[in-house]
Amino acid sequence: MAVKTIKDGASYNQREVVDLLVEFSSFKDRVNKKFKILATELEGKHNEHDLWVNLYLISTDYAEELHNKRQKQQENLQKIS
Enclosing domain of residue 65: 48-81
The reply to whether 61 falls in a domain is yes
| Residue 26 domain flag | no
- Residue 2 CA to residue 69 CA, distance in Å, equals 8
What's the whole-model pTM score?
Answer: 0.42
Comparison of pLDDT for 67 and 38, the residue scoring more: 67
For the stretch 44-53, pLDDT in tens is 766 677 777 8
Question: Do the domain assignments include residue 29?
Answer: no
Provide the greatest CA pair distance for the chain.
56
Residue 52 forms part of a structural domain:
yes
- Could you write out the DSSP letters of every residue in 7-34? -TT----HHHHHHHHHHHHHHHHHHHHH
**pLDDT tier for residue 5 given thresholds of 50, 70 and 90:** low
Q: How far apart are CA 44 and CA 78, in angstroms?
A: 52
The answer as to whether 67 is a domain residue is yes
- Band of the pLDDT at 37, cuts 50, 70, 90? confident
Question: What is the number of domains present in the chain?
Answer: 1
Q: Does 3 have pLDDT greater than 60?
A: no
User: Which is more confidently placed, 42 or 72?
Assistant: 72
